[in-house]
Structure 1
Amino acid sequence: MMEKPKVALIAHDKKKIDLIMFVKENLETFKACELYATGTTGKFLSEKLKLIVNTVHSGPLGGDIQIGSMLVEGRMDFVIFLRDPLTAQPHEPDISALMRVCDVLNIPLATNLATAEALVVELKSILKNSKT
């Protein structure tokens, strides 16, 4: 059996509720994964959904860069980053760097709920195949 897929979960403030609801709708899939999240997002996921989440710093304090480092080291398989495209972020260069690393390393990255749903379909397939 292969090791659990490693998934980073990140959400800007105005998208945190969307992410929590999305994860809740797909709870069994996410329970079967090794989860990582930036600070506040991880705290909410742990408290609201009782998930085990490995947390790094919050995004503005370097969490996006920490996730990017994990990507570069081959320690992350998927990233779901629900971004708020209508609000300026003070750490926009860090966000851009994280997305660039995903592109360079060909790591699946979902930045909205539609692509997050597609990633969950892939995760379910991986988890199903790992049981056989």
Structure 2
Amino acid sequence: MNIACIAHDTKKDDLVQFMIAYEHLLKDHCLFATGTTGTRIMEATSLPLTRFKSGPLGGDQQIGAEIAENNMDLVFFFRDPLTAQPHEPDINALIRLCDVYSVPLATNMATAEVLVAALARGDLGWRDLVHGKSRKPSDS
């Protein structure tokens, strides 16, 4: 599965800890992340991943484009709902695209735990049915 990882500044530590905890499950999947989040994950784990630009510089939109092309299967987006983000319209667009394309989205640790458990059990295999083509994201 293709999995995107995004975290606002105040949530980066949480996402990194999540990725460390589930490294053994996530290592078999194709991982993608926005700029600094991706760097932090790579420094803390041995997980290979593809990095997009930083969220405010277009990374959220790059991941959104992959969702719109049906190239993402799961999104971990640890967001900070208490801090205003200058790129809020991009964030809302990404969340909307997950809804439009039925891409499971975790915006907090609790939901991420549920989704990673589903991933481990194979409960997200239905995502394979929505793909009639290669799922490797295009070179953006």
Could you tell me how far 1:109 is from its partner in structure 2? 0.3
> Is the 2:70–2:101 contact (alpha carbons within 8 Å) kept by the matching residues of 1?
no
Give percent identity, aligned residues only.
53
| Partner SS, residue 47 of structure 2 | coil
Deviations 1:93-115 (A, max 9, x none): 00000000001111100000010
Could you tell me how far 1:126 is from its partner in structure 2? 2.2
Match of 1:30 in 2: 26
Alignment TM-score, normalising by the size of structure 2: 0.86
Deviations 1:49-72 (A, max 9, x none): 121010100000000000000001
- Bigger proportion of residues as helix: 1
Match of 1:70 in 2: 66
Equivalent of 2:35 in 28, 34, 39: 39
Match of 2:106 in 1: 110
Alignment TM-score, normalising by the size of structure 1: 0.91
Q: Which runs of 5+ in 2 are unaligned?
A: 126-140
State how far apart, in whole Å, the 2-side matches of 1:118 and 1:96 are.
22
**How many corresponding residue pairs?**
124
Match of 2:83 in 1: 87
Q: Which runs of 5+ in 1 are unaligned?
A: none
Q: Aligned-pair RMSD on alpha carbons?
A: 1.2
State how far apart, in whole Å, the 1-side matches of 2:49 and 2:9 are.
18
Moved over 6 A (4+): none
